[in-house]
């Protein structure tokens, strides 16, 4: 055997679906899926467009044989995202879409998916021209595609625009009619870049000061029987202990919850779910009582130092990860169905009532500043999206 035909073989990115993983038990040493963000993938010289699955169910059914996305969301952290890039802050420019470039970014008129549609339109007329090994031609086509995207956007200047890196396939990626040279020059005359001084202001704008009695309740932002959680917070504090975020389930005495807290200046994440009927042996970091199971992840990083830090909690059923800045710890809560039953509430800054099922270190509310909250990689307006506000509300200096 000297050759392999892999043209019909699937490519797995980030992990292997549970329904297929048993085929590779003797080959793949670990079933732990990748936790993090992937910015760029190139296969045989071709860049994959990491746009995610379509939001329309009918389209997802058609695309099953081509692409299948599971428990994934578009990353909205640095270098792009509402709180990190400045692409959409200047209303006079057309280039309002953030395109990540490693740790930096550039502002563009097109998302990767839109850019690809223009590239296809341009290359369709080239016939059998070999572009794979012609870098000059690739750059020229890419530049032309970007110009066409700007032209198409200019025809819809009245459209509301947001600082995006979301790139969800839509029903139509239509090509707009190109502008004339005079019209393009008129539009480009209004474009300008913002300076670094404004970037710092964007990052920490709208920070909220939590006094130890401040708690914000958000309702309806998560499913009431969810199996996936993705919570990311940017915070600053000099207080060692305090409950930062909690997703409670109050109807059954707080048997189920997700809680993120600071204990001795270090972030911890606690997950409690009801036991399933047929429970396997417990892991060493897991406890159980009265039909529930609890596991705790403890980060090593000290964050009560008065500087800004990012605390990121990710859950896929019983698999959980806690990422503090760029350091991650992971664990698993076995013996449950992985469903977190809740009322759709999220508490930020502490608890709205006494929670006896929480560890005693979690009973204190958070004191410090929070500048960003992301749920499933969607930026939440700290005050604008709040359902209820308790205690003193003030901005951070």
In SS3 terms, 200-259 reads as: HHHHHCCCEEEECCCEEEEECCCCCEECEEEEEEEEECCCCCEEEEEEECCCCCCCCEEE
> Ranked by mean pLDDT, which of 7-11, 104-108, 323-327 comes out on top?
323-327
Tell me the pLDDT tens digit for each residue of 225-243. 889 999 999 999 999 999 9
Q: Does residue 362 surpass a pLDDT of 80?
A: yes
Residue at token pair 């190109």: 178
Q: Higher pLDDT residue, 250 or 325?
A: 325
Instruction: Quote the pLDDT of residue 163.
Output: 40
Q: What is the mean pLDDT of the chain?
A: 77
Q: How many CA atoms are closer than 13 Å to the CA of 391, on its beta-carbon side?
A: 19
286-289 and 388-390 beta bridge pairing: unpaired
The helix (H) or strand (E) run that includes residue 271 is: strand 266-274
Q: Does residue 176 surpass a pLDDT of 70?
A: no
Task: Match domain 206-395 to its CATH number in 2.60.120.200, 3.20.20.210, 3.40.50.970, 3.30.1360.120.
Answer: 2.60.120.200
| Domain map (residue ranges) of the chain | 7-203, 206-395
Tell me the pLDDT tens digit for each residue of 66-93. 667 776 777 777 888 767 788 877 677 7
Measured CA to CA, the distance from residue 286 to residue 178 in angstroms comes to: 61
Q: Higher pLDDT residue, 188 or 14?
A: 14
Measured CA to CA, the distance from residue 380 to residue 346 in angstroms comes to: 12
Both tokens of residue 127? 């016939």
Q: Is 117 helix (H, G, I), strand (E, B) or coil?
A: helix
Instruction: Quote the pLDDT of residue 210.
Output: 96
């Amino acid at each position: 055997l000297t050759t392999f035909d892999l043209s019909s073989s699937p490519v797995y990115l980030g992990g292997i679906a549970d329904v297929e993983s048993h085929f590779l038990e003797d080959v793949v040493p670990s079933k732990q899926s990748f936790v993090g963000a992937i910015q760029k993938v190139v296969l045989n010289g071709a860049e994959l467009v990491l746009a995610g699955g379509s939001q329309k169910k009918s389209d997802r059914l058609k695309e099953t044989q081509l692409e299948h996305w599971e428990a994934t969301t578009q990353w909205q952290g640095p270098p792009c995202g509402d709180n990190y890039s400045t692409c959409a802050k200047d209303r006079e420019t057309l280039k309002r879409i953030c395109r990540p470039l490693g740790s930096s970014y550039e502002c563009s008129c097109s998302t990767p998916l839109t850019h690809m549609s223009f590239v296809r339109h341009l290359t369709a007329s080239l016939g059998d021209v070999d572009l794979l090994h012609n870098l000059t031609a690739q750059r020229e086509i890419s530049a032309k595609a970007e110009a066409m995207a700007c032209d198409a956007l200019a025809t819809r200047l009245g459209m509301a625009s947001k600082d995006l890196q979301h790139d969800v396939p839509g029903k139509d990626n239509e090509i707009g009619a190109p502008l004339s040279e005079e019209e393009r020059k008129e539009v480009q005359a209004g474009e300008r870049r913002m300076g670094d001084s404004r970037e710092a202001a964007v990052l920490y704008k709208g920070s909220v000061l939590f006094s130890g009695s401040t708690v914000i309740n958000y309702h309806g932002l998560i499913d009431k029987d969810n199996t996936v959680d993705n919570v990311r917070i940017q915070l600053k504090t000099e207080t060692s202990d305090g409950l930062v975020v909690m997703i409670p389930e109050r109807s059954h005495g707080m048997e189920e919850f997700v809680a993120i807290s600071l204990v001795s200046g270090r972030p911890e994440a606690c997950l409690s779910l009801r036991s399933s009927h047929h429970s396997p042996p417990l892991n060493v970091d897991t406890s159980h009582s009265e039909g529930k199971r609890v596991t705790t992840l403890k980060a090593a990083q000290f964050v009560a130092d008065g500087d800004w830090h990012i605390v990121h909690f990710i859950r896929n059923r019983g698999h959980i990860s806690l990422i503090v800045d760029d350091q991650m710890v992971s664990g698993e809560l076995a013996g449950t169905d992985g469903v977190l039953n809740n009322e759709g509430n999220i508490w930020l800054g502490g608890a709205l009532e006494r929670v006896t099922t929480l560890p005693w270190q979690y009973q204190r509310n958070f004191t410090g500043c929070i500048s960003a909250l992301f749920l499933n990689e969607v930026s939440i307006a700290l005050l604008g999206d709040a359902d209820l506000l308790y205690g003193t509300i003030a901005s951070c200096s």
